[in-house]
Each structure stands twice: as structure tokens, then as C-alpha cells.
Structure 1
């Protein structure tokens, strides 16, 4: 059962203080306390881009894009993540601005594609790094990021 809101508790305390007459010479009042709430930030990365990217008008039938892997960065700024495409033992991350980076995962991450999306918890430096950080599936599994590879369109 959820606890009553702090405003409701203050209202109850003020009504109780007003309804009870105070002896002569004593002041009545309300005692207030401070509450500190701490939290953590976890970024949920959507697994589709259909709501984020407007389709470009096409005059010819679309051809599938072929990607080539190049040497990738060691780390990616977490605020640059825009979306992801899950495929087997890797995840293609779509960054803001349209660049793509493939995150190769260490071990079996079978639950990754079952639910729509996954979670990434950036470190204190705001970066998601290969060999250090992991992807968490919505079912609770955890997969370490082995390495990043930059994806470029094959010509």
C-alpha cells in the first residue's frame, strides 16, 4: 500500500494542531521534516526507428543497404544513442546524426530480441565503453559489450 503524500500528512498535522487548544503560554506549530530522494539514470534504447525518422520520398524501389565494418571507437557518449536494431549476437546502434555503430556482444544474449528494446546504464563519465559496460535486456539478462565497429555504406 503506498504511503500518503507529504502534503496530506502536513494537512492532517495542521488540523490536529488547530483542533486541540493549547495551554496558556505555549505556542502551537507544525513540525516539518526534509525528505531526500536519490535515483539512478538508466537509458532505455528503443529497438525501432519508425517513430523517430520520417521516411524519405522514394521514386524507385528501395534496395537493401549493405554495410561494411570499419574500426570503431572504444566508447560512445550515452546521450548520442538514438535507436538500435537487434540482430543475433550484435546490436547496431543508430546515433543522433545518422551514424551507425555495431556493438558486438560477449556471450549469448538470446532474450535481447524478444522484448522491444534494452537498457544501457552509462558510467559516471557519461560514456558507454566496450570491455567495460553491458547491455541489459528487459527480461533481466546482461550482455557485455565486447567491441564497437563503425558501419559505413558499402559501395
Structure 2
């Protein structure tokens, strides 16, 4: 398919001695001053090419089967996590938050019962203390709606078999 924008032409009537004619204007005393015509042509072509369908019929390949979810095994962990090692978080269960640490390690922060839904506003805040750590039984996760979730304990997560 081709699309063509037609040419635009304009004829301008220029009086004698008008700027842009290239010749000096005749003296006003001459009675036979010729009138000059000038023409401006603006032309633009746009070509849009639409490819034809491929004559060879393509067969869609099936999507790969999704991987089964990983069953994480909880193990004992320290009471504090360095705040600068936090690289991500996932709210998988209502009573905990899985923290992804630098290097790919995972830690589950177990929360108290009075915790409002953290995932309602997509995310939460955590403010480490002056020691640069987030600790259980001391620090809280703050939801974006204003609620607080006290951290009861941390558990190290390892993939189950």
C-alpha cells in the first residue's frame, strides 16, 4: 500500500523591485515596468509499505510448562539483618515477609498477629536504626496506609527437595 501526499503549488505575484527577485528595481520614472511572476513549489512524498503475509504458514510453538513453586524450608537465623544487604521483598503469606538479600540469600521475617495487610497498597517501609540493622523484637514494617507490623523473628530460607 502506498500513500502519496499531493504536491502543493503556489504562484506569487511580486511587484517590481520586491525583495528576492535578484535584480535591482527599475527607476520609478520608467513607465514600462514589467510585472514579474514567481512560483514556489513544495512537494513531499510519503511511502508506507505494508508487507504481504508470509505464504508459508507458521505453526505456533507451545509455551513451556511453568515451573512448580519452590517449597522453602525455614531454619534458625540471627535476630538482625544488615539493612544495606536488603535487595527485595515479597509478601507471600499474610503472617510474614520474605526478604531477598544480596547474593540471593532469603530470610523470612515472621510478623505479629496485629499486622494489617501490607500488600493492600503494594509495599511497605522499613527504617533501620543507627546501627544499620533491621532487628526482630525491635523494628517494624510500616504499611503505606499507616499501620505497623512488628517483626517477631527471622528465619533463613533454603529451597526444599
Q: Same fold (TM over 0.5)?
A: yes
CA radius of gyration, larger in:
2
| Per-residue deviation, 1:108 | 2.6
Distance across 2 between alignment mates of 1:119 and 1:61: 32
Residues 1:127 and 2:96 aligned together: no
Q: Deviations over 1:52-90 (max 9, x none)?
A: xxxxxxx76412111000001110000111111112011
Distance across 1 between alignment mates of 2:146 and 2:76: 30
Residues 1:68 and 2:73 aligned together: yes
Aligned ranges for residues 1-155 of structure 1 at < 5 Å?
61-86=66-91, 87-155=93-161
| Corresponding position of 1:37 | none
Q: Is the 8 A contact 2:85 2:102 kept in 1?
A: yes
What is the TM-score when the length of structure 2 is the normalising length?
A: 0.57
* Structure 2 alignment gaps of length 5 or more: 1-63
The number of residues matched between the two structures is 98
SS for the counterpart of 2:84 is: helix
Aligned Cα RMSD in Å? 1.6
* Structure 1 alignment gaps of length 5 or more: 1-58
| Corresponding position of 2:39 | none
Q: Is the 8 A contact 1:89 1:105 kept in 2?
A: yes
Higher normalized helix content (fraction of residues): 1
Q: Deviations over 1:74-129 (max 9, x none)?
A: 10000111111112011011112111100001123223110111100100000000
Deviating above 6 A after TM superposition, structure 1's stretches of 4 or more consecutive aligned residues are: none
Q: Is the 8 A contact 1:111 1:139 kept in 2?
A: no
